[in-house]
Structures are given as C-alpha cells and as structure tokens.
Amino acid sequence: MAAKFDPKIHHRKSIRLPGYDYAQAGAYFVTVVTWGRDCLFGRVLNEVMVLNDFGKIVQEEWERTAVARHNIELGAYIVMPNHLHGILVINNEVGASRRLTPTEAISPKPGSVGAIMAQFKSMVTKRIWKIDETMHGTPIWQRNYHDHIIRNDHEMGKIWQYIESNPLNWADDKENPSPVPPG
C-alpha cells in the first residue's frame, strides 16, 4: 500500500526560478532525461548520434513542438542515447489573457515551458508504448526536466555549441552511464 502524502516528508522543492513566468517570451535551454538514464534512443557511433526507432519518435515529437504551436521556434537540439537537449524560443503572442481555473492553477501554465515539456514527454511516451507493448506502463522519462533561461546572444552561442558538440563529447558526458575511462 502506498504511503499517504505527507507534505513534511514528501515535499519536493521546485527547481524553477521563483516568480519567473515561464510562458513569457524568451529563449530556454531544456534537458530531459530518460528514466534511470536508460539508453533508449540509440547510440553514439564514431562521435555521431545514431537514432533507433524510439530516438526517431523523440526527434519527430520535438520538431512537432514548433509545428503545433505558432509562437514556438526551435533552436539547436540533439537527441542523445538517454536525453534530449534543446533550445525553445517562445515568441510574444498577441491576444487577451484569461484567468486560470482552479484546476489549471495547479498544472503548468498553458503555453509555458512546463506545459510544452509535459506534452512533449507525454506524446513520446504514448508513441513508444504503442509500438512496443513490452514498454507499456514503464516510465520513459524522469519526473522533471532541467531548464536554463538564455539571457543573451553570448549565452545562446555557447549553449548552441554545447548542443551541437554533444555527440563528440559523449565519452565524458555526465549522462553517459558507461563513460570511457581515462587512458
């Protein structure tokens, strides 16, 4: 039987910047990692990422993120064996804002980085479960994601380079479950 929720024990500290509106226009560097850091999406071969069928689903759903939302642009991104790095750019939307319902108030704000990441992770999970019944019910992603607000062009350039060079640096990547020992 599952333990009853106790906020004193089960409190999870938010990793988001307090008071920041993650639905506002801006550029965001996001990283989402597989459950248990399992290498589900392919492998790095000769410093090139080779996607398997699951990895192709991740890539397709990431690209669909910008197609499905007119105010989203994608910058550099890379699907790695057990994670995705990407740059999301939220552009200003013209239109009226509305008050959130009580249910929406406890969920990620519509159009926010949190809402986008939740939908992305959900779509990938559903598609993987659909093509591989042995995976059904198995978590694909870790509970959360990492984000960084990109504040200027210099930061954007450094992050863009980091993303593009990720396969070249896989042997030393902290997400690599079997790094190559120094030698």
What pLDDT, on the 0 to 100 scale, is given for residue 94?
A: 45
Rounded distance between C-alpha atoms, residue 98 and residue 83, angstroms: 35
Rounded distance between C-alpha atoms, residue 50 and residue 73, angstroms: 24
In sequence order, the β-bridge partners of residue 33 are 83
Rounded distance between C-alpha atoms, residue 145 and residue 58, angstroms: 15
What pLDDT, on the 0 to 100 scale, is given for residue 69?
A: 87
| pLDDT surpasses 80 at 72 | yes
| pLDDT surpasses 70 at 86 | yes
Is beta strand 26-33 parallel, antiparallel or unpaired with respect to 146-150?
antiparallel
Crossing angle of helices 53-68/113-131, nearest 10°? 140
User: Apex CA 36: angle with CA 58 and CA 41, to 5°?
Assistant: 25
Which band of pLDDT confidence, cut at 50, 70 and 90, is reported for residue 15? low
What average pLDDT score do residues 15-29 get?
75
Among 127, 105, 109, residue whose Cα is nearest residue 117: 109
What pLDDT, on the 0 to 100 scale, is given for residue 96?
A: 38
Judged by DSSP in three states, 150 sits in strand
In sequence order, the β-bridge partners of residue 174 are none
Chain mean pLDDT for the chain: 84
Q: Kindly report, residue by residue over 101-139, the tens digit of the pLDDT.
A: 555 445 677 888 989 999 999 999 999 999 998 899 999
What average pLDDT score do residues 83-100 get?
73
Q: Kindly report, residue by residue over 146-170, the tens digit of the pLDDT.
A: 999 999 999 999 999 999 999 999 9
Which band of pLDDT confidence, cut at 50, 70 and 90, is reported for residue 8? low
Q: Which two tokens stand for residue 63?
A: 């690209």
